[in-house]
Amino acid sequence: MRVSSLVAATIAATFVHAAIAADMPEFSLVIKNHVYQPSELKIPAGTKVKLHITNEDATAEEFESTDFNRESVVLPNRSIVVFIGPLRAGTYGFFGDFHRDTAQGRLIVE
């Protein structure tokens, strides 16, 4: 009885783990009026994540971070996907290269 429940728990845990491994955490950012929404994004440390960035403005933007080394143009009314990490815990800046005065954000890795 105890053994079988242990086996069941192990099998369940394995499935949960496999599910976590298969589903990369996904996050979204929206650019509107040349501002990132949200401007602070929390992602887990030590895990690769999939970031969707949607540009709702009528002009192009370039999602860029020199802290975590990414740059990708997001055309007007389009979405892109950028894979990030795995990163060490910390705070990383990102910005919109085409509107640096307003498009600023922080990636909080914890």
Cis bond leading into 38, ω under 30°? yes
Q: Which range touches another protein (CB under 8 A), out of 13-21, 25-33, 35-43, 82-90?
A: 82-90
Q: Does 59 bind another protein (CB under 8 A)?
A: yes
Tell me: does residue 43 bind another protein (CB under 8 A): no
**In this structure, how many other beta carbons lie within 10 angstroms of the beta carbon of residue 20?**
11
Tokens for 109, please give them: 């890795």
23 is a contact residue toward another protein (CB under 8 A): no
Q: Which stretch binds another protein (CB under 8 A): 8-16, 25-33, 36-44, 62-70?
A: 62-70
Nearer to another protein, 85 or 105 (CB): 85
Binding of another protein by 45 (CB under 8 A)? no
How many CA atoms lie within 13 Å of 81's alpha carbon, on the beta-carbon side? 7
DSSP-assigned beta bridge partners for residue 36: 31
